[in-house]
Amino acid sequence: MGRLVNEKRIIKKLKPENAGNLLVFCEGNTEYNYLNFFKDYLEKRLTVPYSNMVIEPINTSGNAMHVYRYAEDFLNIDVNRRKYALYEKHLVFDCDAPVNIQDVIDLMINSDNEYILDYSNLLFETWLLMHFQRIDIHDIVDKRSIINQIRNHLDVLEYNSKVKASKGMIAKILGNDGNAKVRNAIENAKHLEEFWKKEKYKMEHDIKKMNPSVMIYELIERLLDEIDYFCN
């Protein structure tokens, strides 16, 4: 099992901000297994509950529009709307599809459900690749390149749906130094975010230009801060 506890860490004097109640909609088995790894890690190691994360996976092969529509339909059901009224609502999605991804993001932003957009541009594998290496703004980050690099790091002949759906893949990615790997990925994501800010690019208008970039790091950082503080 991958390790997320940083045994050499210095405990902060202040508790991390409570991530609170989170309702997360995500596309694909890879995203679900990754998020569920953190969820299980917290639930099994915390003596008292701190944050609560509910993950709603999109069970079909989907894209950003499918995630949005699923979330809207889910929250349009009265019992769900009441149950999750006080939850933060997160959408985890890739930016490779559909072609009109900017229009989809516009729908997400303007929804009455006040979603937080935890996107990966171009793919979720962009975020996973950051666990192994630094991605720079000038790197080739098309789909084939990303998948080939992930395949090489995982030492598999193919990076197919079976490999992606394997729960053991996430543990393999994190390995025995998962905390350091995730922290490095977070710093890489922040570096890219600062670059796009300086270029005055914004997700609301320029998502196709902002490749590579990921915002799922914000959610993961909050969860990892809790692990660092509470999981000795």
Which residue ranges make up each domain of the chain?
A: 21-230
Structure tokens given for 144: 């084939």
The DSSP symbol for 222 reads: H
111 in Cβ contact with 45 (< 8 Å): no
CA distances from 116 to 103, 107, 111 (A): 16, 12, 11
The pLDDT tens digits for 111-139 are 999 999 999 999 999 999 999 999 988 88
pLDDT of residue 9: 46
| pTM for this model (two decimals) | 0.90
46 or 143, higher pLDDT: 143
Q: Averaged over 75-94, what is the pLDDT?
A: 96
Top mean-pLDDT range of 34-38, 46-50, 110-114, 225-229: 110-114
pLDDT of residue 120: 97
Residues in a beta bridge with 58: 27
Q: Averaged over 129-153, what is the pLDDT?
A: 91
pLDDT of residue 123: 94
Sheet containing 21-27: order of strands: 52-58, 21-27, 88-94, 116-121, 213-214
- Among 53-67, 70-84, 206-220, the minimum mean pLDDT is found in 53-67
231 in Cβ contact with 46 (< 8 Å): yes
* Long-range contacts at 73-78 (CB < 8 A, ≥ 24 apart): 74/25, 75/113
Rounded distance between C-alpha atoms, residue 66 and residue 69, angstroms: 5
